[in-house]
Amino acid sequence: MIIAVSGTPGVGKTTVSKILSERLGYEYVSIKDFALAKGIGEKVGDEIEIDVDELSRAVGEEFSGRDVVIDGHLSHLVPADVVVVLRLHPKMVAERLESRGYPRKKLAENVEAELVDVILVEAIEENENVIEVDTTGKTPDEVVDEILSLLNSGVKRRVGIVDWSWAYDDVVQYLMLGGD
């Protein structure tokens, strides 16, 4: 089974993916490392630009029929049996990205993306089986417990459980309203 773990930067994808793969006995795959190893991605400044169509093709070829957890904020765009979209209160996303030294513009883009469900919407458009999980106030082990509980009970689709519209006032200072 291919499980893709996606979400806005800062929501806990890597930590959760590593624990999940360990608990399931699945191979862990970083989408970023895979793309670079296959020559699908290239470093441009501090970022990696990835050809998503080529990434999707390569993931399908490489991991079809294998048990893997694929970690990365583009993983919802590759072939997977189930996509887990991790969500986190946008203010916590801002604080985590700020502590990682993200430039103001990139921080604002990611806070806005979490606020308005960008990754979730893309995941739903690309995949039949999407499970949304709110990580706010939970330890990584609690998040993995929730994911495993949902998977073991046969849940294939659970979306619409998170609504950050009420949190706008909490994050307005992180947004870049009116442009640069």
Annotated binding site: 10, 12-15, 100, 138
CA atoms within 13 A on the CB side of 123: 31
Joined together, the tokens standing for residue 27 give 């191979």
CB 60 within 8 A of CB 78: yes
Report d(CA 6, CA 139) in Å as an integer: 17
Q: Indicate the annotated binding residues for ATP.
A: 10, 12-15, 100, 138
Joined together, the tokens standing for residue 117 give 């469900």
The end-to-end CA distance of the chain, in Å, is 43
Q: Is 1 helix (H, G, I), strand (E, B) or coil?
A: coil
Report d(CA 144, CA 17) in Å as an integer: 8
Nearest to 4 by CA among 127, 152, 103: 127
Amino acid identity of 148? L
